[in-house]
Amino acid sequence: MEQSIKGDNLSEDFLSIIKKEFELEGVDLRLYSPLSLAFLGDCVYDLVIRSLLVVPGKRKVESLHKEKSRMVNATAQAQYIKKLKDVLTDEEMEIFKTGRNTKVHSKAKNAGIGDYHNATGYEALLGYLYLKGENERIVELVKLSMEDEER
């Protein structure tokens, strides 16, 4: 019997399960540093992209990695955030700008500093939305940012 994958089988979102099982209490979202939000948002974005690539069916790992690398990098993310600026709420734009304008202590391997800052802002926004429990908004923004792109 084939088993389908359905996200609506979860009674709680992923973060709530993690908090409960590891007995974690979150803090006020305004207390997280933009780089901490970007650190988490990088992973959230990566998980969304990996899910988009794996869930449709069987593919070779080399193919998955190549496609993921094309989509999960500072240059691509900088392009994605440009598509979203008109649909972000004031709060979301503030989080993006704070992440973008934060002094970073590293640099991108294959991107210019402007793209790297924009990607950091994009990741900070996704991390913020994840901690806020706005998973549907994360998916909506990623989907909008990828419109007109071949997968």
- Within 8 A by CB and 6+ apart from 54, the residues are 64
Structure tokens at 28: 């006020």
Contact 32, 26 (CB under 8 A): no
CA trace torsion 115, 118, 119, 124 (10° rounding): 160
Residue 9 gets which letter from DSSP? G
Which residue type does 64 have? Answer: L
DSSP string, 122-146: HHHHHHHHHHHT-HHHHHHHHHHHT
Contact 124, 96 (CB under 8 A): yes
Q: Among candidates 18, 7, 9, which has minimal Cα distance to 130?
A: 18
Among all residues, which ones are annotated catalytic? 42
